[in-house]
Amino acid sequence: MKRIRLLFLADMHIGHKTGLCPPLWGPVNEPKIRASWDWFEPTVKEHGPYDCLVLLGDDVDRDGVKNSHEMIMNTHEQQEAVIYVVNMIAAPKIFSVYGTEVHVQEKSGHELEYDIGKRLGIETHKQIWIGFDDYVLDCRHHPAGKSTVNPGNPLHKEYEINQKWHREGVQPSATHVIRGHTHSMYYCGVPNRWQGIACPALQDIGGRYGARMSSVIHFGFGVMEITEGRWPTWTVYEKPRQMEQVFSL
């Protein structure tokens, strides 16, 4: 019986002071940065090995208009750090999609994730479809909008769009719609028919831009296990939370 395990890493934002940061780069002694890596490295290794790694975009975080003052390494170092993470995971198959332009494009328009893919010997796509057994995973960075009240709505919309494109003879019919970008995990769908998945991020809370956001974010990664003839299972591994301090009067 054939079985595969796929690892999904979304929104690492390597290069930002709240992003993922291997110890060879950046201010490794900063407590929040070190805590994130000290959780990620052993946890991702513990639940491997993986047959496939899917990078869901926003791997890096260049000097964008939102947070250039919060960069902790230059774009060359960011790319090197992403490659370090990918090589550490050592999945035999790698797929990659582009993230948000303000994070992953230089001001000239050059795509940093294109360079990363080229270094890894893979192509980076705007959207990809991965097939195994009777299942098709529709993977892209951006969902169709975001709803705090009904977070499943964008995933439903993405599935409906896929089905329309399928009827046009353009896209394969997806059983799983998998997205990043929102930094909030969620799933919805119809059992044994289709599933929509919003992945957690690997960028922690904090920073000036993040401080303006009220939505809950989730720090972690997702693993999908597909066994031939069975509905795939989706598991999320999260870094433990810490309660905020209450100040006494």
pLDDT tens digits for range 8-47: 999 999 988 889 999 888 776 677 888 899 999 999 999 9
Tokens 């790698």 appear where? Answer: 94
Q: What's the CA gap between 220 and 202, in Å, rounded?
A: 6
pLDDT tens, position by position, 144-198: 666 555 666 889 999 999 999 999 999 999 999 999 998 999 999 999 999 999 9
- Highest-confidence segment of 11-15, 106-110, 114-118: 11-15
Q: Is 183 left (phi over 0), alpha (psi -120 to 50) or beta?
A: left
- Which range has the top average pLDDT, 111-115, 116-120, 222-226? 222-226
Distance CA 81, CA 75 (A): 10
Quote the pLDDT of residue 56: 97
Mean pLDDT of 110-126: 89
Q: Mean pLDDT score of the chain, rounded to an integer?
A: 88
Distance CA 184, CA 215 (A): 8
**Structure tokens belonging to residue 219:** 């720090």
The larger pLDDT score, comparing residue 76 to residue 50, is at 50
**Neighbour count for residue 161 (Cβ, 10 Å):** 15
- The whole-angstrom separation of Cα 98 and Cα 141 is 7
Q: Identify the pLDDT of residue 18.
A: 87
* pLDDT tens-digit map of 184-217: 999 999 999 999 999 999 998 766 555 555 678 8
What is the Cα–Cα distance from 150 to 227, expressed in whole angstroms? 31
Residue 154 near residue 147, CB atoms below 8 Å:
yes
Which tokens sit at 3?
């079985």
Residue 152's pLDDT is: 67
Asked if the bond preceding 191 is cis, omega within 30° of 0, the reply is no
Provide the pairing of β-strand 194-198 with 186-190: antiparallel
| Residue 112, pLDDT above cutoff 90 | no
Tell me the pairing of strands 3-9 and 220-227. antiparallel
The predicted pLDDT at position 68 comes to 56
Per CATH, which fold does 3-238 belong to?
A: Purple Acid Phosphatase; chain A, domain 2 (3.60.21)
